[in-house]
Amino acid sequence: MHEGKHEPGGHRGARETGHPFHEEGKRGFRSAQTFRRGRALAFLERLYVKRSTLLQQLNQPEFQEIRQIISGELKATDGIIQEFIQAFELREVLAEQELTIEGAIPDHDNP
């Protein structure tokens, strides 16, 4: 038995040879992580759009009769956003998104 030693010129693992398949595997893993993070950020952006829409509706007179319902949906959406950020470890995005959203939402109290 060889006790784990390789014969000269024998097969060596992909890590030892710098085999292109192994290198692509590294990039593929990072690409998958980047892709999933991108999808998570896109979903978070949709949640912020929903939140923005609810905020606008909250201040529109035609929605006055269902203001409590809209307020409840807004609170629920805020909760979902917070849970999503925590679950997908997107805390650094939170600060960026809040700044973007605050700048994009017109202040209806101050015309």
Could you read off the pLDDT of 31-58 as tens digits, one per residue?
A: 777 788 889 999 999 999 999 999 999 9
CA dist., res. 72 & res. 54, Å (int):
10
The pLDDT tens digits of the residues spanning 44-98 come to 999 999 999 999 999 999 999 999 999 999 999 999 999 999 898 887 756 665 6
CA dist., res. 101 & res. 4, Å (int):
59
Distance of CA 41 to the CA centre of its chain: 3
Rounded average pLDDT over 7-24: 49
Q: What is the pLDDT of residue 21?
A: 46
Q: What is the pLDDT of residue 49?
A: 97
